[in-house]
Structure 1
Amino acid sequence: MSAPSRTRLSRHRRTLAVTAILIVVAVAAAGIGLTTGSFHASLGDVASALSGGADSRTTVVVMGMRMPRLIAALLIGAALGLAGAVFQTLARNPIASPDIVGFTAGSATGALIGLTLITPPPSPAIGAWTGGLLTVIVVMAIARSVGISRERTILAGIALTTLLAAVNDYLLTRAPLDVARNATQWLHGSLAATSANDVVLLLASLGVLSAALVALRRDYRALELDDDTARSLGVRTGRARLALVVVAALLTGTATAVAGPIGFVALTAPQLARRAMGTSGIPLVGSALTGAVVLIVADVVAQRALAPLQIPVGLLTAAVGGAYLFWIVARSRR
């Protein structure tokens, strides 16, 4: 067997091993999330609830409250992992992500406008998608002159995030007290109020947007190299970049609409997947799986660490993400 073949086989085995480990961690976290808490349910109770044979209280807690939250954590984490992988690949920068560049803040602003200024309030998904797409327009207008891979675009995105955060705070000051209280909790990023309808929205949106990424996979792989190589392969780089950025923004908007802005999952998941799986580029499937596992573990910790007090999962991921950024700074100095 030639050396390149051995290298590919080794990477394939490593990818399978990492995937298996991630699945085991996700299953373990799911088991803890479904069985522990103020209402204890054994694995047998969970199985009975899944089969429809449990009593009404167990069914309500397991199927009506914990299961939607569990599935939503997996789907939102996968959506953020995919969005981060797309943007970091296009920017060729490990700190480029939707929350750093402003997509998350833009989605939050759009949803918050609907929640605080419109009566009756529309679905947060509509506002989140609209806000995310408008943010794309602004970011792409900036990138048009400096190039989306340039550090200046990331700095402009950070400035845009700060501006949108100020807009969000202003909207909260204008809202009635009860609306502002609920919106503030939503802005911290929480899965506590997740329902079956939210899971349906996530499944439908993630299915459509994942299919779009599959259709754009050739362009994505070509853009991983460089623009000149991509153009030599027949890729219309401008159109491909715009399509991929729109998909990433819609993925971010979908996640934000359901759980609020959950930071740093999109930043860390793609890099963790790339390093763990030993790939040269950022793997889309690996990023989605890593994002799903990161968020479900973070949500279980947020629920159980200070029980009966529950921490919004967005605060926990922000703390972990801050430590991750410190690690990047320390590593870059070395």
Structure 2
Amino acid sequence: MSRTVVLRAGPLSTRFPLRPAVVRLVLLVTVVALAAYALTLGRAAITVPDVLAVLSGEETGTTRTVVLQWRLPRIVAAALFGAALGVSGAVFQSLTRNPLGSPDIIGFNSGAFTGVVAALLLGATGYAALTAGALLGGIATAALVYALAWRRGLNGFRFVIVGIAAGAFLASLNTWFSVRADVDIALRAAVWGAGTLALADWTTLAVTAGLLAAVAIALPLAQRRLTHLELGDATAASLGVPVERTKALLVLLGVLTTAVVTASAGPIAFVALAAPHIARRLTGRGESADLASAALVGSLLLLGSDMLAQHALDGVVLPVGAVTVSIGGAYLVWLLVVESRRA
């Protein structure tokens, strides 16, 4: 199989990399198939034909309620949030040129969660207020880390180190808030802090999808700018890219993406770390960022993790964050071993 296809239209031609396109198609089909299978799992026995009947409008009874109101929102949330985390991780790993450059490692998840906890302490109860708190917390953390890491430009290694320190401080602050808060607020914060998709519903998803759609509009431009930055700051500048302003905007894009997910489901760890690595290995792109593939891998990881969280232990439903931490911890150890051997 040729790695590159050349498409021609008269005097115009373009090179089309075939392997990434095939990988994305396979990932998309796998995500859809896994989502369809997830709809059949649960105490209520539902088959694939039942699901198809519901989606086509032929089924209007209890099965329709179970599929459309109970199971489908959570599955859509897993796919959507996983894609968002995958994109965010790819952006930060490309910007920092560091395999550990992920929003959950460098503290932005903790910052967004701090914003949610602060909103709860101020008496917020609605989704809009919690989303605003997460966005403000994430952006404030990013601004602080960016300022502390700035030395005549953004240095990726310094950015990661400062972010890890900021994340550790904010995690401690979140724990202190939970200890000092009223029991009801502490319980709500604990639910968010574990990372869960149990609260997903169509109203929340509509708002989240709208916010993420606005971010998605910028992804083609972000992919192009990331490709330029990967050539080096000097080369990117020679191509007309405003390097530091572009980095700041990409940081904002990644923070907004992860903050929206945190507001809806809490700080879900390690999906943003693992998805870009897996995507690069599958597509053969080496160290280059591939936002579309990272998004699909993120969807697959979070959807699979949530299925394990709900059905791996009979009669026990775990927070999806507990599953991603367990899987991600093993992946992180493997990644550190691989990177140490390269050094």
TM (norm. structure 1) is 0.93
What are the residue-to-residue correspondences of 1:79-118 with 2, within 5 Å? 79-118=84-123
1:328 aligns with: 335
CA–CA distance in structure 1, aligned partners of residues 29 and 315 of structure 2: 27
1:31 lines up with 2:36 in the alignment: yes
CA deviations over 1:92-140 (Å, ceiling 9, x no partner): 1111111111111101110111123325555321111111100111111
Alpha-carbon contact 1:85-1:284 (below 8 Å) kept: yes
CA deviations over 1:198-243 (Å, ceiling 9, x no partner): 2112221111111123234432221111100011011111110001
CA–CA distance in structure 2, aligned partners of residues 158 and 151 of structure 1: 11
What are the residue-to-residue correspondences of 1:79-158 with 2, within 5 Å? 79-120=84-125, 123-145=129-151, 148-158=154-164
Q: Of residues 301, 305, 314 in structure 1, which corresponds to 2:321?
A: 314
Residues 1:120 and 1:252: Cα distance change in structure 2 (over 3 Å): closer
Alpha-carbon contact 1:84-1:96 (below 8 Å) kept: yes
CA–CA distance in structure 1, aligned partners of residues 113 and 147 of structure 2: 20
Query: What is the identity, as a one-letter code, of the residue corresponding to 2:307?
Result: V
Alpha-carbon contact 2:275-2:297 (below 8 Å) kept: yes
Query: What is the identity, as a one-letter code, of the residue corresponding to 2:17?
Result: H
TM superposition shift of 1:157: 1.0
Q: Of residues 295, 298, 307 in structure 2, which corresponds to 1:300?
A: 307
Alpha-carbon contact 1:117-1:175 (below 8 Å) kept: no
Residues 1:57 and 1:179: Cα distance change in structure 2 (over 3 Å): farther
TM superposition shift of 1:6: 5.0
CA–CA distance in structure 2, aligned partners of residues 196 and 223 of structure 1: 38
User: How many correspondences in the alignment?
Assistant: 330
Structure with more helix by fraction: 1
TM superposition shift of 1:45: 2.1
Structure 2: runs of 5+ lacking an equivalent: 6-14
Alpha-carbon contact 1:146-1:153 (below 8 Å) kept: no
Q: Which moved more, 1:228-237 or 1:9-18?
A: 9-18
Residues 1:251 and 1:119: Cα distance change in structure 2 (over 3 Å): closer
Q: Which moved more, 1:214-223 or 1:8-17?
A: 8-17
Residues 1:255 and 1:120: Cα distance change in structure 2 (over 3 Å): closer
Q: Secondary structure at the match of 1:99?
A: coil
Q: Which moved more, 1:64-73 or 1:173-182?
A: 173-182
Q: Secondary structure at the match of 2:17?
A: helix
Root-mean-square deviation (Å): 2.0
Alpha-carbon contact 1:213-1:247 (below 8 Å) kept: no
Residues 1:38 and 1:178: Cα distance change in structure 2 (over 3 Å): farther
State the identity %: 39
2:294 aligns with: 287
TM superposition shift of 1:176: 2.4
What are the residue-to-residue correspondences of 1:211-230 with 2, within 5 Å? 211-230=217-236
Q: Secondary structure at the match of 2:241?
A: coil
CA–CA distance in structure 1, aligned partners of residues 2 and 329 of structure 2: 38
Alpha-carbon contact 1:11-1:277 (below 8 Å) kept: no
Q: Secondary structure at the match of 1:100?
A: coil
CA–CA distance in structure 2, aligned partners of residues 20 and 307 of structure 1: 34
CA–CA distance in structure 1, aligned partners of residues 226 and 218 of structure 2: 11
CA–CA distance in structure 2, aligned partners of residues 55 and 7 of structure 1: 48
TM (norm. structure 2) is 0.91
CA–CA distance in structure 1, aligned partners of residues 124 and 164 of structure 2: 31
Alpha-carbon contact 1:302-1:312 (below 8 Å) kept: yes
1:63 lines up with 2:68 in the alignment: yes
CA–CA distance in structure 2, aligned partners of residues 23 and 13 of structure 1: 16
Alpha-carbon contact 1:147-1:153 (below 8 Å) kept: no
Alpha-carbon contact 1:106-1:161 (below 8 Å) kept: yes
Moved over 4 A (4+): 119-122
TM superposition shift of 1:56: 3.8
1:266 aligns with: 272
